[in-house]
Amino acid sequence: MDGMETFDSLLADAVRKAMVEISEKTMQDLQRETAFTWLGRCVATFTRFAETSDLQDLCDAEEFGHEAIEHASLADEPGFSDAISQVVHVCRGRALARSASQ
C-alpha cells in the first residue's frame, strides 16, 4: 500500500468513526473527551520528561497541555477548564522538580 492509499484508508476510517460519534454525542461531550485525551498525553509526557529530562518531552507536554486547556474551554462547562489547567500546572511542577533533582 502506498502513502496516498494509506492516507485515504485512514481518512475513510476516521470519517466512519466520526459519523457514529457525532450522531451519539453533543459538541460539549466531544470537547470534554478531547480535553481528557490531550490531558492524558500531557501527563504521560511530563512523566516521561521527569524520568529522562529530554527537552522534546517537555515541549511536547506543554503543547499537549495547551490543547487540553483549549478543548476544556470549548466544552463550556463551569470550572472544567480551571481543573484541567490545575492538573497541567501541578504535573509541570512535579516533572521539573524531579528532572532537576536527577
* Residue 78, phi then psi, degrees to nearest 5: -55, 130
58, part of any domain: yes
**Is the residue at 92 inside a domain?**
yes
Q: Is residue 38 part of a domain?
A: yes
Three-state SS at 59:
helix
- Asked if residue 54 is part of any domain, the answer here is yes
Answer whether residue 7 is part of any domain: no
How many C-beta atoms surround the C-beta of residue 78 within 10 A?
Answer: 7
Q: How confident is the model at residue 2 (pLDDT cuts 50, 70, 90)?
A: low
Domain count, the chain: 1
Q: Report whether pLDDT(27) > 70.
A: yes
d(CA 65, CA 71): 10
Cell numbers at 39, concatenated: 490531558
Q: Is the pLDDT of residue 1 over 90?
A: no
- Domain of residue 54 covers 26-100
The pLDDT of residue 3 is 73
**If pLDDT is split at 50, 70 and 90, which confidence band does 8 have?**
very high
pTM to 2 decimal places: 0.90
Q: 41 lies in a domain?
A: yes
**Per the domain annotation, does 53 fall within a domain?**
yes
What would the pLDDT profile of 29-84 be if each residue is shown by its tens digit? Answer: 999 999 999 999 999 999 999 999 999 999 999 999 999 999 999 999 999 999 99
Answer yes or no: is 69 within a domain: yes
